[in-house]
Amino acid sequence: MDVAANALLAAGASPAMVHSLREVPEFTPRCDAVCVNVGTLSEGWLPSMRAAASAGRPWVLDPVAAGASEFRMEACLSLLALRPAVVRGNASEILALASRSLAAAASGADSTHDSGDALQDAKALARSTGAVIAVSGAVDYVTDGERVVGVSNGVAMMQKITATGCAATALIAAFLAVVEEPSDVMAVAACALAVFGLAGEIGMESGAKGPASLRMHLIDALYCLDEQTVTSRVKISLHS
C-alpha cells in the first residue's frame, strides 16, 4: 500500500486506501477509478473488495498470487465475474487465472514464468472475461483478446522491489480515470505500464544501487517526468 499510494501521488493522482465495508459505499462513488488488489487477502476484506468492484466505477484487478491457494483463486474468479476493465498480473498469476487452477510449482507473489509464456492464455482470458489483460515482465503484454501491444520499458531490478506490480496496477487505474472511450482502455493500460517502466529506467540511471534506492528514485522519477521525456522514451509496439 505504501509503494502504490506513493507512486500514485507522485504521478499526480489522489489515492485512498480503503478496507472497511462500512466505508466502501461512501468512498467509491467519489472515486474516478478503483483498484482492487488481493495481495493481503482476508475473509473480512473480500466483501469490501466485491462491494468496491460493484460500485459502478471503472476498476482494475491485481490478482496477487492467484495460483497460491484455493481461497485466492476463488476470490479472484469471483472478482473477475464483476467485470474489471483491466486485469494486471505477472505471468504466473495470469497463467493460473486463465487455467482456473493452482500453480503447479509452488509460487508466492513473484512470477516463476516469463510474460511471453502467458501471452496466449492472456488472450484467452481477455476473450472469456471481456477485460483487457496486462501481463507484466521484461516485456509487458496488453491484450483485449484480439490485439496485442508490447511495452518494453522497465528494468529487471523492479522485480526486486515488493509492490512494483501493485503500483503498476494502481497507475493503470489512475490512467483509467481519464478514459472516455471503452476502446481506449487497452492503450491506456499500455501507456501506464510504459510510464511506470520509464520511471524505473530513469530511477536506475539516477544512481540506484539496489532495490531500496531504486524504490526511492523510481518515485522521484515518476514525479519529475515531463511530456518530452515520455514521448521520446516510451517503447510501445503493436504485435501481430
Ligand X SMILES: Nc1ncnc2c1ncn2[C@@H]1O[C@H](COP(=O)(O)OP(=O)(O)O)[C@@H](O)[C@H]1O
Contact pick of 90, 107, 129, 143 for ligand X (by CB under 6 A): 90
Residues 106-125 that bind ligand TZP (CB under 6 A): 109
Q: Please, is 124 exposed, middle or buried when counting C-beta atoms within 10 Å of its C-beta (0-12, 13-18, 19+)?
A: middle
- 82 near ligand TZP, judged by CB under 6 A: no
Distances in whole angstroms, Cα of residue 47 to Cα of each of 60, 75, 204, 212: 16, 10, 39, 34
CB of 152 to ligand X, least distance (A): 8
| Residue 39 contact partner, candidates Mg ion, ligand X, ligand TZP, none, CB within 5 to 8 A by sort of partner | ligand TZP
CB of 68 to ligand X, least distance (A): 12
- Each residue 29-68 as x (binds ligand TZP by CB under 6 A) or -, in order, gives ----------xx-----------------------x----
Task: Note whether 171 and 131 are within 8 A (CB).
Answer: no
- 150 near ligand X, judged by CB under 6 A: no
Half-sphere exposure of 202 (CA within 13 A, CB side): 21
- 166 near ligand TZP, judged by CB under 6 A: yes
Q: Which residues contact 236 (CB under 8 A, 6 or more apart)?
A: 149, 150, 151, 152, 190, 191, 194
